[in-house]
Amino acid sequence: MYIDKRVTWNPHTRLKRIDLNRKLGLLRNLLHRRSKLSLVNKLTIYNMILKPTWTYGIELWGSARKSNIDRIQSFQSKSLRTILDAPWYVSNHTLHTDLNIPTVRQVLHEKFKTFYSKLETHPNPRVSSLSSSTHPLNPPRRLKRRWPRDLLVE
């Protein structure tokens, strides 16, 4: 996790994208169109190597700005396009629905709801108090900043 002094997620998503591009470059021989691997094996490689890289800590950085989340989404679309050898005119929505792979935003909501449900049932009272849908002190919001618990209402 990379956090700057202003506690924004821009450096984290930027460095994650660089790391993901490097990993995709190393796997390109296995995932490109002339590869002998089946589509199922290519998707397994994606799910086992690339996806855990960007999903790590998504419960926290999921409240990042749309532009930072779109940075990871563009990588996901690029890698799925490489796996399928899809031409430019095939939409990203089509790629996701045909492969039955959720978008980054869908994964984000699913992971946070799972994390939130675990908080509610945690035996430690301090941890379970974190599961409230509003901030206990209700501080004023500045700069349109989103908090992770905002993902519950979207």
- What's the pTM? 0.79
Flag whether 4 is in a domain: no
pLDDT tens sequence across 13-59? 999 999 999 999 999 999 988 889 999 999 999 999 999 999 998 88
pLDDT tens sequence across 117-151? 887 788 887 777 766 666 666 666 666 666 666 66
Flag whether 3 is in a domain: no
Flag whether 115 is in a domain: yes
Flag whether 77 is in a domain: yes
Flag whether 5 is in a domain: no
Domain interval for residue 93? 10-152
Give the separation between CA 120 and CA 86, rounded to whole angstroms: 43
Backbone phi, psi, residue 142, to 5°: -120, 150
